[in-house]
Structure 1
Amino acid sequence: MEKGKDFVAFSLAVDESCDASDTAQLSVFIRGVDSNLCVTEELLGFKSMHGTTTGKEIFEEFSKCVTEIKLPWDKLVGLTTDGAPAMCGKKSGLVGMVREKMREENCAGELTVYHCIIHQEALCAKALKMEHVMTTVTQVVNFIRAKGLNHRQFKYFLEECGSEYADVPYHTEVRWLSRGKVLNRCFELREEICQFLETKGKDTAELREQKFLCELAFLCDISSHLDALNLQLQGRGRNITDMYAAVRAFKTKLCLWENQMLQGNPCHFPCCQSIKAQISTAVFPCAQFAEKLSVLAAEFSRRFADFDAQKCKFELLSNPFAVDVENAPTNIQMELIELQCNDTLKSKYDAVGAAQFPRFIPDTMPQLRTQAAQMLSMFGSTYLCEQLFSSMKMTKTTHRRRLTDEHLRSILRISSAQSLSPDIDELASKKRCQVSGLGTSD
């Protein structure tokens, strides 16, 4: 509450998940920026929802989080959700109701809404339409891992073969990075897996087909690239401009890979190179894979259109000295010209970098400072919410289902705190010390 009084802009990240007792838990994180352009990123509220979780109910709990801390609605500039209908609905969803609330409060600013970058990146991968390969791999892994005897025999078989790897991991749909790990391990152990399945009387004709091996190799490589991007987007305290830059770089890479694949040169796809060396070059479907890369690039452009629309604002934060003044908002054009012509500030930018530079923008450029504060406050993803839900799963397990909502909230608030620290003296002063008695008797 004390820090919130100094915020000149703040944004919120919202997500919802169920705990071990099937109670819906709503987490709301705040990223606030004060007048000194210092960023505070903390858990704003954690609300238990025992009934339905429609947009209206979510908005009511969301609104309580804002009003309990006495945050002014006119300072709210950004809202990031997981993209669920109850969250992003324009009328009956959380986004629509927040915008209506801001109109009622006569807020002058416009609310910028984002669908979590990490969610969108994971959804883009579905455009490849290679589920048939993943289904076959999953069936093979499940056959090996589902029964204890098969699993033990397979590990012993790998040991006898002198394999570099000792096992294959499970694939879990909700754990995005597991997909790439499973595919790569199965590709590396493809020969050992086929030999083991044959000892069990299983047909391995499909696994040995050249077409399947080519598709498996391509899916391995593109999944590895997607996983690398996913890891770049994770973490606390990430600026939305850096996350957007990572996505833009990946879209550019997709164009390069498409052109190289059309030329029959999969130099950035090691698994494809390995398979191509084993089979006839004419058999390897370069054109087919180039088309899939083109489809993936188009899906990235479609899903990240809302981020592309903010490109000019992102550039104002990441590199204000390279922004075309004519394309900048009119209210900051004069200040932007002064900034770009100031050699001292340019030297400071080169010295401290884009992340720290906004703090050195002088008070004589209030519009630029306000713009910087708004962009610094933006959440690019709901990563913090997902991280909190992971802590929730470990805290409220099937063996601790009776943990109360209040206790769970307290535990998660402490575990998620970053820059806040408890004032023990203040807390202790509000508690009544236990006394042994009111007095002595004769």
Structure 2
Amino acid sequence: MLISKPATKHKLKSTRKMAKRKTENRNFQDRWETDYMFIVVKDKPICLVCGANVSVSKEYNIRRHYETRHHDKYKDLNANERLKKVEEMKKGLMSQQTMFTKSKSQSEAAVKASFIVAQEIAKSARPFNEGEFVKMCMVKICEVVCPEKKQAFLNVSLSRNTVAERACELATNLQEQLMRKGEDFVAYSLAVDESSDTSDTAQLSIFIRGVDSNLCVTEELLGLKSMHGTTTGKDIFEEVSKCVDEMKLPWDKLVGLTTDGAPAMCGQKSGLVGRMREKMREKQAGELTVYHCIIHQEALCGKALKMDHIMSTVTQVVNFIKAKGLNHRQFKSFLEELGADHSDMPYHTEVRWLSRGKVAKRFFELREEICLFMESKGKDTTELRDEKFQCELAFLCDIMNHLDALNLQLQGRAHVITDMYYAVRAFRTKLRLWESQMQQGNLAHFLCCQVMKEQTATAVMPFAQFAEKLIYWR
């Protein structure tokens, strides 16, 4: 049935009036504070007496709550007394809310601080019970600097179990983030290395570098696996394969694999490389490009100088000094008495990249003190005092210093192969310059050799021999 136009307008007008009255009736009125002892907090009416809230801001609901629960208690109050009582209850409610918000904020800050300390402890590979010591130090400092904040520091939980749980939560969160990023990779490559820790347990480290469609590169540690049995190519492959599957990485997006060149790694049949290629053929993936770690190559090139006889002598002397506690203590006291520039000698560790150069340089700088100490122990120092030996040691120190500088350029995150290649090319160009200078007797880039040249006759310094080594090396 059709409705006439005037009737439709009348109906719309009355509907608007009803909606307006309904909205007005549900707006909180100021007089409700004194009449019914209510206050509005975040658009919700809350009773000042019991703290209850009314779901609908309507006078009927508010009045009904007051009359059924609190009317008898406050009916005898006059207007001034009621107003005063309302103000007191408002202040009490506001203080409670402020205290709750403050305590909640303090609790969140304490948890965040606990995670920060746990992260630093885990990154520095310190025991989990170090958290209690850190907390004790923080509280002691707080007592002096800001005593009023002592309770906030006491609220930070850093017990051994708490730090362990925080470290596990952080590790789990990082793993989940890496898994989410892995879903967006258009290609990724792996770097695998195996080494033994102080307990002779083989540790297999697996690194990943992936790139998404926006060319954002992610480089992270994918996994660290302890291998308590054999470390054959099959064992390494099983651990790598398990790690890739656990992170839900697609095999068809694996494009590169970098190893250290060991037989168990680069074997074409039973090694990791051969087994990875076979796995990718089964998955019908693309061709796998295999790389030899550029830092391992640089370390191998350093051994091509054929000066192991110098380093072996240095290592023997260092081991004699540091292997026995008595010799070590006496050597440090001896250096202190002589007023030497250094107070001790470091060990030579083959697995550490910069150890070889540091030990050789320290030995050269303390060569006179070492000779005197060895003579006091009744050891023959003829070889150590030989000028040719000391010249070769100086040359080795200078070369190792340049190699260590190159090594540091090749290390670190966010390095691409082109940057490393340019660094190696620049080093080879430097070798040509150094070889030309060495033939001319110019030691501008060989500081230790300069020291030996000043202390010995020029004829003793074998410039031609050192230049030949540089030619062979490059």
TM-score range, shorter chain: 0.5 to 0.7
Cα offset for 1:225? 0.9
- Corresponding position: 1:198 with 2:375: yes
Look up the match of 2:346: 169
Number of residue pairs the alignment of both structures matches: 296
What runs of 5+ residues in structure 2 fail to find an aligned partner? Answer: 1-178
Structure 2 CA distance for aligned equivalents of residues 95 and 274 of structure 1:
48
Structure 1 CA distance for aligned equivalents of residues 457 and 426 of structure 2:
33
From 233, 237, 259, the equivalent of 1:55 is 233
From 302, 311, 316, the equivalent of 1:134 is 311
Higher alpha-carbon deviation: 283-292 or 201-210: 201-210
Cα offset for 1:153? 2.7
Equivalent residue letter for 2:261: G
Q: Structure 1's 205 and 79: CA in aligned 2 closer, same or farther, altered over 3 A?
A: same
- Corresponding position: 1:34 with 2:34: no
From 215, 231, 254, the equivalent of 2:392 is 215
Q: Structure 1's 148 and 54: CA in aligned 2 closer, same or farther, altered over 3 A?
A: closer
From 98, 103, 112, the equivalent of 2:289 is 112
Q: Structure 1's 152 and 89: CA in aligned 2 closer, same or farther, altered over 3 A?
A: same
Q: Structure 1's 193 and 43: CA in aligned 2 closer, same or farther, altered over 3 A?
A: closer
Q: Secondary structure at the match of 1:175?
A: coil
Structure 1 CA distance for aligned equivalents of residues 195 and 324 of structure 2:
31
Look up the match of 2:413: 236
Look up the match of 2:333: 156
Q: Structure 1's 198 and 7: CA in aligned 2 closer, same or farther, altered over 3 A?
A: same
Alignment of 1:364-379 (within 5 A): none
Cα offset for 1:266? 2.0
Structure 1 CA distance for aligned equivalents of residues 229 and 372 of structure 2:
53
Alignment of 1:347-366 (within 5 A): none
CA deviation vs aligned residue, 1:43-96 (integer Å, no higher than 9, x gap): 333444444332223223322222333322221111111211111111221112
Q: Secondary structure at the match of 1:238?
A: coil
Look up the match of 2:222: 44
Structure 2 CA distance for aligned equivalents of residues 276 and 54 of structure 1:
50
Look up the match of 2:244: 66
Structure 1 CA distance for aligned equivalents of residues 198 and 395 of structure 2:
38
Structure 2 CA distance for aligned equivalents of residues 102 and 238 of structure 1:
27
From 453, 456, 461, the equivalent of 1:276 is 453
Equivalent residue letter for 2:395: F
Structure 1 CA distance for aligned equivalents of residues 452 and 200 of structure 2:
47
Structure 2 CA distance for aligned equivalents of residues 251 and 58 of structure 1:
35
Cα offset for 1:18? 4.2
Higher alpha-carbon deviation: 209-218 or 132-141: 132-141
- Corresponding position: 1:14 with 2:192: yes
Q: Secondary structure at the match of 2:242?
A: helix
- Corresponding position: 1:86 with 2:264: yes
Look up the match of 1:97: 275
CA deviation vs aligned residue, 1:103-129 (integer Å, no higher than 9, x gap): 333334x32211111212111111111
Look up the match of 1:124: 301
Q: Secondary structure at the match of 1:2?
A: helix
Cα offset for 1:271? 0.7
Q: Structure 1's 40 and 186: CA in aligned 2 closer, same or farther, altered over 3 A?
A: same
Look up the match of 1:427: none
TM-score, with structure 1 as normaliser: 0.63
Structure 2 CA distance for aligned equivalents of residues 175 and 47 of structure 1:
20
CA deviation vs aligned residue, 1:139-158 (integer Å, no higher than 9, x gap): 22222223333323322222
Cα offset for 1:288? 0.7
Cα offset for 1:36? 0.8
Structure 2 CA distance for aligned equivalents of residues 184 and 50 of structure 1:
37
Equivalent residue letter for 1:220: C
TM-score, with structure 2 as normaliser: 0.59
Q: Secondary structure at the match of 2:354?
A: helix
Structure 2 CA distance for aligned equivalents of residues 215 and 22 of structure 1:
35
Q: Secondary structure at the match of 1:232?
A: helix
Cα offset for 1:192? 1.9
Equivalent residue letter for 2:247: I
**Structure of higher RCO (CA pairs closer than 8 Å, 6+ residues apart):** 1
Q: Secondary structure at the match of 1:282?
A: helix
Structure 2 CA distance for aligned equivalents of residues 56 and 148 of structure 1:
42
RMSD between aligned residues? 2.0
Identity across aligned pairs (percent)? 78
Higher alpha-carbon deviation: 9-18 or 46-55: 46-55
Q: Structure 1's 255 and 50: CA in aligned 2 closer, same or farther, altered over 3 A?
A: same
Q: Structure 1's 51 and 152: CA in aligned 2 closer, same or farther, altered over 3 A?
A: closer
Higher alpha-carbon deviation: 80-89 or 20-29: 20-29
Q: Structure 1's 68 and 156: CA in aligned 2 closer, same or farther, altered over 3 A?
A: closer
What runs of 5+ residues in structure 1 fail to find an aligned partner? Answer: 298-442
- Corresponding position: 1:182 with 2:349: no
Equivalent residue letter for 2:299: A
Q: Secondary structure at the match of 2:351?
A: coil
Structure 2 CA distance for aligned equivalents of residues 164 and 47 of structure 1:
42
Look up the match of 2:73: none
Q: Secondary structure at the match of 2:421?
A: helix
